[in-house]
Amino acid sequence: MSKYVESVLKDVKAKNANEPEFIQAVDEVLMTLDPVLEANPQYEANAILERMVEPERVIMFRVPWVDDKGIVRVNRGYRIQMNSAIGPYKGGLRFDPTVNLGVLKFLAFEQVFKNSLTTLPMGGGKGGSDFNPKQSPHTPGQRCSDAEVMRFCQSFMTELFRHIGPDTDVPAGDMNVGGREIGYMFGQYKRLANEWTGVLTGKGLSFGGSLIRPEATGYGDVYFAQNMLAKRGETLEGKKCVISGSGNVASFAAQKLIRLGAKVLTLSDRSGSILVKDGINEDLLNEVMNLKNVKRGELSEIKSAGVQFFPKVNSWQITDAIDCAFPCARQNELNGEDAAYLLKHGCKLVGEGANMPSTPDAIEQFVGAKIMYSPGKASNAGGVATSGLEMSQNSERLSWSAEEVDTKLKGIMKAIHDNAWEAAAKYGHEGNYVVGANIAGFTKVADAMVAQGVC
Ligand code: NDP
């Protein structure tokens, strides 16, 4: 590790000691940048790393709202505006009790590189709240009602609206923020700003949403895997795949894999994992999507024939013939022990759909084994890329067909793959998508920052 990287990392660790996820994300990126920093001394001379690890702005605010029993509740809201060198801040909003400053800073930092990789002009941001829509504050075991979620979203946007805008910062969904929440927040923004603009992405189709946006992260993850396999002259046909999660990313990754002839063996959620030895078919997948998105239930409730349920475990170690793994639930959900198990049981491809789902120990094993391993910032970039396409459609006041958006998404995922591949090869790490994605994402932002002077 160079002295420059060492000193920046030391500083990041000292200044952000209580933000382990942020330190982990910064560490993972900076450790791979030495070759490009050596070849480009202007980056150190312009303090690019020091500036990249410091958010341009952090907004933290009170979110008061009234529950169905008339009791006043207070949550904490955040927006991290990390880097706007190449475009307006762009990144999702997450509502989950695990949300805190460090988690959102890690996500915003990752988002800067991811957005740069998409080839579109988008800076990086992230936000959210520790609000838990899956647990009513007054009735244990019950979810918040739609009315409670709406009141929360309206209060959240009442503060956020003054910090965002179609040319400033364009939030989207993330964990527990889907079409319902985006709709409520968009409605409130429109009232407060008295304007109809594409200020949020992931909107409903009747008010400016893009076809294929809900599918885009999961589909994009699978398209990236196709590109990795194509390099080795292989396809997904017949491949046995394990997937974690059963939310937005996981379910559409599963749908695309099934349609491409792969065998999807598992899905998971907080209650546990389901395993279908012969492969989950589209009927069962539709049942899961209905359960998660409409009934808002858990996988333990699935009773269909051929489905085995494993309570409170993730998908990695419940079957023993595995070609590909797609972690699509949350950060640090695949550890070193899981990685060793996957490698031992034949896994040759890991395509991250979630953000930072593999621990550093797991990544080291995947890279060491030279399997096809794509970090989330590259392989899950299809979601934000399609958000970028939604912004273009809103600005044009036009809606593109599903085929048009899907074709663009495929093209973007291929471009991300090829850029990461070429950047890795250029700096002597052929086939290492971690190095390639970090360097390719970094270079574009760093060059823009140098060109814009010290700001
Ligand atoms: P969802 O909320 O739709 O789904 C999240 C899934 O993860 C659910 O199945 C959830 O289970 C499961 N999960 C969450 N926490 C835990 C836990 N502690 N233990 C076990 N399972 C858990 O989110 P998304 O699908 O949108 O996002 C998934 C990941 O992908 C996140 O890392 C997100 O940042 C990333 N991502 C999402 C994008 C998007 O477009 N949506 C874009 C790029 C990245 P349960 O239903 O029981 O809560």
Tens-place pLDDT, residues 271-292: 999 999 999 999 999 999 999 9
Q: Which of 374, 407, 437 is the last residue of a domain?
A: 374
Ranges of beta strands (E only) in 160-247 are 169-173, 240-244
Q: Please check whether residues 140 and 220 belong to one and the same domain.
A: no
Whether residue 171 lies inside any domain: the answer is yes
Query: pLDDT value at position 103?
Result: 98
Q: Please check whether residues 187 and 243 belong to one and the same domain.
A: no
Residue of 99, 132, 174, 358 to test ligand 1 pocket, by largest number of atoms within 8 Å of CB: 174
- Is residue 126 part of the annotated active site? The answer reads yes
Q: Which of 374, 407, 425 is the last residue of a domain?
A: 374
Number of domains the chain contains: 2
* Domain enclosing residue 330, as ranges: 216-374
- Residue 44: give its domain's CATH number: 3.40.50.10860
Task: Give per-residue pLDDT as tens, 66-112.
Answer: 999 999 999 999 999 999 999 999 999 999 999 999 999 999 999 99
Asked whether 251 and 216 are in contact (CB, 8 A), the reply is no
Task: Give per-residue pLDDT as tens, 222-255.
Answer: 999 999 999 999 999 999 999 999 999 999 999 9
Query: pLDDT value at position 251?
Result: 98
Taking CA atoms only, the protein residue closest to ligand 1 atom 29 is 354
Task: Give per-residue pLDDT as tens, 52-69.
Answer: 999 999 999 999 999 999
Whether residue 394 lies inside any domain: the answer is no
For the CA of 331, the closest atom of ligand 1 is 32
Question: At 350, is the pLDDT very low, low, confident or very high (cuts 50, 70, 90)?
Answer: very high
Taking CA atoms only, the protein residue closest to ligand 1 atom 46 is 269
Whether residue 323 lies inside any domain: the answer is yes
Whether residue 29 lies inside any domain: the answer is yes
Mark out the alpha helices in 200-326 (DSSP H runs): 213-231, 248-259, 282-290
Mark out the alpha helices in 81-178 (DSSP H runs): 101-117, 146-160
Question: At 380, is the pLDDT very low, low, confident or very high (cuts 50, 70, 90)?
Answer: very high
Q: Please check whether residues 140 and 252 belong to one and the same domain.
A: no
CA dist 137 and 129 (Å) reads 15
Q: Please check whether residues 27 and 151 belong to one and the same domain.
A: yes
Q: Please check whether residues 131 and 15 belong to one and the same domain.
A: yes
Q: Please check whether residues 338 and 222 belong to one and the same domain.
A: yes
Whether residue 354 lies inside any domain: the answer is yes
- Residue 328: give its domain's CATH number: 3.40.50.720
